[in-house]
């Protein structure tokens, strides 16, 4: 029997846990005591004493050295135990049918050699009716340990138990784990007690009856004779506040398909009064064998302040356990091997059916209920994600997206839309698969029609996902545009604040909300002409504040022909000369022969002074289009009008605007050029109409950008 130290150090990485040697010492002490009670039942309680000695070294005594010893009253290192100690990857404890025993891989003690130069053992045990003591002296630079390295002598029954001593902290461990903190602080009695309360809380609580009125004492010996002590006993253990179960759905690691079974995780929540329990921080951890392995506190408590301070007077410890975690814990006991982040994993050799994503999806809402700092509101996040991104509660439910502490509206929206995107991709892939099967099927068979039914349902499901994501974004965007227009009409936008003497740009700003100035629909498709009418955005050509001579169809053909009928040209020559530079703010054209003319008037400018503009524009466009344009819709939009000057116009039943329909006739020849339907609209009417058009969707998505 030989323990190859050098080989074990190469094959077992150093743990990132600075207290790992203490963990291993106390864990072995508990196991040893359970074995002793099983083999020799008696009324006794676990007793463990940890001593950390800080020594001064160096020329001026400023280079501290550390040694740690752990003494227990367990069974000692008998023949079976020493064989397990000298065997890497031992299965010794696996074969012990003792409740509470910590199954392990026998790699924990390798951390002793990672951290310290010298390891010594003194152990007293019973063997064949005798009491014997085994001793392994402190020797530096050991390459291996044989059974022959242990000296065996007579012992005393009252001394049954084991003392393990670690001496000479290695430079590599010091630089890696203790570089920023003084050893005297890390291994103070109070610090060791606080850590061990958290690390062994679950195991000590579950084994309270087996360990009796246990006592774990901590002692730190400092240079110049100062000694600090602390203890942890059965009376110090708090009761568990709450235990919850979470069942994680297992999935095929290659396809991601559900396997129809679950893996159970158990969450134990301890709520500890901060005035009684002197803890350094809150702790939420994945555990293995009832001991914390991977700290995940920052996932739920995002800031250092939240992690360290008591919440409403209590510290919180949440310990998450599962057979899966016991099986997947790594040799260093500071993480887990083989659990993928997501399923499917894209790895042909992957065999784990549970992912971290699946685990967190189930435990996040439970932990959120257990540990949630004041000042954070889930309802507020849901309201914000609806208002800012159009993702409502129904979409959260449909995509099974949970909102947990630390989430922002942006992160929630991203998760929801990513899930919709994943669904769309998956549905599209299935649609193509079905198409291929349809192509192979025989139309006269029942199978063919079944495939057609499946394809139609797939399309329906896919469209629902696509529409939900796209519609919500569309409605939110339009709601924002309506609110911006309302603010602009009331001169409440920040850009409308001007200094004395500066020219106001209100008309230009409002114009640009509808359609970018000096652009046309060939240059941009991003506009909001729907504010006036939904159908106008589908017209063939839209021009904003561009010279009439530049307007052309998509194929490059000019809309207005200069070589019109000579008589009509002569009749309109004077008007054309006078208005050659005139052009509507926005002009919209359809190849079926209709045109929409939109004129904006700045707030405070009376529209009744400009009602003739629409008629002149329509006459000019009709004449110059060579008869292509005959039906005109004109809109004069502003916020001021003199009703007494609107003779011949009809007032809308709702709103302040007016409308009328008149034929377009050449004033010289009387020739009919077409017809003009004109409206004078108030900005507030535009806002109201636009809001009504998207009102049902805004209501369903619960969107409201207006100030309360």
Q: What is the mean pLDDT of residues 170-196?
A: 93
Average of per-residue pLDDT values in the chain? 82
Residue with tokens 């009387």: 670
% of the chain with per-residue pLDDT over 90:
40
Burial 408-440 (b: 16+ CB within 10 A, else e): ebeebbebbbebbeebbeebeeeeeebeeeeee
In this predicted structure, what is the pLDDT of residue 461? 54
Residue 119 has pLDDT above 90, yes or no: yes
Q: What share of the chain is helix, strand, coil (3-state, %, to 5)?
A: 40, 25, 35
Residue 432 has pLDDT above 70, yes or no: no
User: Where does the pLDDT of residue 708 fall: very low under 50, low under 70, confident under 90, or very high at 90 and above?
Assistant: very low
Distances (CA, A) of 88 to 370, 384, 570: 40, 56, 108
Contact between 1 and 85 under an 8 Å Cβ cutoff? The reply is no
Q: What is the mean pLDDT of residues 279-307?
A: 90
pLDDT top residue among 540 and 367: 367
Q: How far apart are CA 681 and CA 297, in angstroms?
A: 59
Q: What is the mean pLDDT of residues 15-41?
A: 93
In this predicted structure, what is the pLDDT of residue 20? 93
In this predicted structure, what is the pLDDT of residue 628? 79
In this predicted structure, what is the pLDDT of residue 570? 43
Q: What is the mean pLDDT of residues 571-582?
A: 44
pLDDT top residue among 81 and 90: 81
Q: What is the mean pLDDT of residues 285-297?
A: 92
Residue 438 has pLDDT above 70, yes or no: no
Q: What is the mean pLDDT of residues 440-459?
A: 57
Query: What class is the 2-237 domain?
Result: alpha beta
In this predicted structure, what is the pLDDT of residue 572? 41
In this predicted structure, what is the pLDDT of residue 578? 45
User: Where does the pLDDT of residue 74 fall: very low under 50, low under 70, confident under 90, or very high at 90 and above?
Assistant: very high
The number of angstroms, rounded, from the C-alpha of 542 to the middle of its chain's C-alpha atoms is 42
Question: What letter does residue 238 receive in the DSSP assignment?
Answer: P
In this predicted structure, what is the pLDDT of residue 580? 43
Lowest mean pLDDT among 273-287, 390-404, 624-638: 390-404
DSSP state string for 642-678: -GGG-TT-EE-SSSS-EEEEEEEE-TTT--EEEEEEE
Distances (CA, A) of 189 to 21, 195, 230: 15, 10, 5
Residues 6+ apart with CB under 8 A from 661: 675, 676, 677, 678
Residue 269 has pLDDT above 50, yes or no: yes
Residues 6+ apart with CB under 8 A from 507: 600, 601, 602, 605
Q: Is the pTM of this model over 0.75?
A: no
SS3 25: helix
Q: What is the CA radius of gyration of the chain?
A: 41
Residue 248 has pLDDT above 90, yes or no: yes
Give pLDDT tens digits for 8-22. Answer: 899 889 999 999 999
Q: What is the mean pLDDT of residues 426-437?
A: 62
Residue 559 has pLDDT above 70, yes or no: no
Q: What is the mean pLDDT of residues 341-353?
A: 82
306: left (phi over 0), alpha (psi -120 to 50) or beta: alpha
User: Where does the pLDDT of residue 594 fall: very low under 50, low under 70, confident under 90, or very high at 90 and above?
Assistant: confident
Count of beta carbons in the 10 Å neighbourhood of residue 26? 25
User: Where does the pLDDT of residue 24 fall: very low under 50, low under 70, confident under 90, or very high at 90 and above?
Assistant: very high
SS3 135: strand
Q: Among 659, 663, 641, which residue's Cα sits nearest to residue 651?
A: 659
pLDDT top residue among 422 and 595: 595
Lowest mean pLDDT among 106-110, 552-556, 623-627, 666-670: 552-556
Show me where the domains of the chain are located: 2-237, 246-374, 376-489, 506-695
Q: How far apart are CA 428 and CA 437, in angstroms?
A: 14
In this predicted structure, what is the pLDDT of residue 526? 72
Residue 707 has pLDDT above 60, yes or no: no
Q: How far apart are CA 515 and CA 485, in angstroms?
A: 12
Contact between 638 and 613 under an 8 Å Cβ cutoff? The reply is no
The number of angstroms, rounded, from the C-alpha of 627 to the middle of its chain's C-alpha atoms is 60
% of the chain with per-residue pLDDT over 70:
81
Residues 6+ apart with CB under 8 A from 647: none
Residue 579 has pLDDT above 60, yes or no: no
Q: What is the mean pLDDT of residues 428-446?
A: 59
Lowest mean pLDDT among 200-209, 433-442, 591-600: 433-442
In this predicted structure, what is the pLDDT of residue 363? 94
Q: What is the mean pLDDT of residues 562-580?
A: 41
pLDDT top residue among 373 and 544: 544
pLDDT top residue among 187 and 592: 187
Residue with tokens 């050295």: 65
């Amino acid at each position: 029997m030989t323990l190859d130290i050098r080989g074990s150090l190469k094959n077992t990485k150093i743990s990132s846990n600075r207290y790992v040697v203490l963990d291993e010492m106390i864990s072995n002490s508990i196991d040893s005591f359970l074995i002793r009670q099983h083999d020799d039942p008696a009324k006794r309680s676990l007793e463990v004493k940890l001593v950390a000695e800080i020594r001064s070294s160096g020329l001026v005594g400023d280079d501290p050295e550390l040694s740690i010893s752990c003494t227990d009253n367990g069974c000692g290192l008998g023949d079976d135990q020493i064989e397990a100690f000298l065997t890497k990857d031992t299965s010794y404890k696996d074969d012990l049918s003792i409740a509470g025993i910590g199954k392990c891989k026998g790699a924990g003690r390798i951390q002793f050699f990672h951290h310290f130069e010298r390891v010594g053992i003194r152990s007293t045990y019973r063997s064949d009716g005798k009491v014997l003591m085994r001793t392994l002296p402190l020797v530096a630079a050991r390459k291996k340990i044989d059974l022959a390295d242990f000296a065996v002598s007579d012992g005393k029954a009252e001394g049954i138990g084991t003392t393990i001593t670690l001496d000479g902290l290695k430079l590599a461990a010091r630089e890696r784990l203790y570089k920023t903190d003084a050893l005297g602080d890390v291994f103070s009695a109070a610090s060791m007690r606080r850590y061990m309360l958290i690390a062994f809380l679950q195991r000590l609580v579950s084994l309270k009856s087996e360990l009796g009125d246990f006592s774990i004492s901590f002692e730190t010996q400092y240079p110049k004779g100062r000694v600090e002590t602390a203890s942890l006993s059965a009376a110090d253990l708090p009761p568990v506040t709450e235990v919850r179960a979470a069942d994680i759905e297992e999935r095929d690691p290659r396809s991601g398909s559900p396997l129809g079974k679950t893996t159970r995780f158990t969450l134990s929540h301890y709520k500890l009064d901060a005035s009684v329990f002197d803890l350094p921080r809150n702790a939420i951890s994945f555990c293995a064998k009832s001991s914390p392995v991977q700290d995940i506190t920052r996932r739920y408590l995002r800031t250092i302040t939240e992690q360290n301070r008591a919440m409403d007077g209590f510290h919180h410890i949440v310990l998450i356990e599962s057979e899966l975690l016991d099986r997947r814990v790594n040799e260093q006991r500071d993480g887990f091997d083989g659990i993928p982040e997501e399923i499917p994993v894209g790895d042909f050799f992957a065999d784990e059916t549970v992912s971290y994503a699946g685990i967190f999806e189930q435990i996040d809402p439970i932990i959120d209920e257990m540990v949630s700092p004041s000042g954070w509101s889930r309802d507020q996040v849901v309201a914000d994600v609806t208002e800012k991104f159009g993702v409502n509660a129904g979409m959260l439910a449909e995509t099974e997206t949970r909102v947990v502490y630390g989430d922002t509206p942006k992160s929630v929206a991203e998760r929801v839309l990513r899930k919709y995107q994943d669904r769309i991709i998956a549905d599209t892939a299935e649609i193509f698969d079905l198409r291929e099967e349809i192509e192979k099927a025989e139309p006269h068979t029942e199978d063919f029609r079944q495939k057609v039914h499946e394809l139609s349902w797939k399309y329906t499901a896919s469209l629902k996902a696509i529409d939900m994501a796209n519609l919500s974004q569309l409605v939110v965007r339009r709601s924002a545009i309506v609110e911006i227009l309302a603010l602009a009409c009331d001169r409440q936008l920040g850009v409308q604040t001007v200094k004395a003497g500066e020219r106001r740009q209100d008309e230009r700003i409002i114009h640009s909300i509808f359609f970018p100035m000096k652009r046309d629909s060939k240059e941009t498709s991003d506009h909001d002409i729907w504010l006036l009418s939904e159908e106008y955005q589908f017209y063939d050509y839209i021009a904003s504040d561009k010279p009439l001579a530049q307007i052309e169809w998509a194929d490059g053909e000019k809309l207005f022909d200069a070589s019109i009928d000579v008589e009509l040209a002569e009749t309109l020559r004077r008007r054309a000369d006078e208005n050659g530079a005139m052009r509507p703010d926005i002009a919209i054209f359809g190849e079926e022969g209709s045109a929409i003319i939109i004129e904006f008037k700045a707030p405070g400018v009376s529209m009744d002074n400009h009602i003739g503009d629409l008629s002149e524009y329509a006459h000019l466009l009709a004449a110059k289009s060579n008869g292509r344009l005959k039906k005109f819709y004109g809109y004069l939009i502003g916020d001021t009008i003199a009703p007494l000057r609107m003779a011949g116009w009809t007032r809308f039943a709702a709103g302040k605007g007016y409308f009328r329909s008149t034929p377009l006739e050449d004033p010289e020849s009387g020739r009919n050029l077409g017809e003009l339907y004109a409206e004078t609209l108030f900005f507030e009417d535009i806002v109201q109409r636009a809001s009504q058009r998207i009102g049902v969707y805004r209501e369903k998505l619960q969107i409201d950008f207006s100030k309360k």
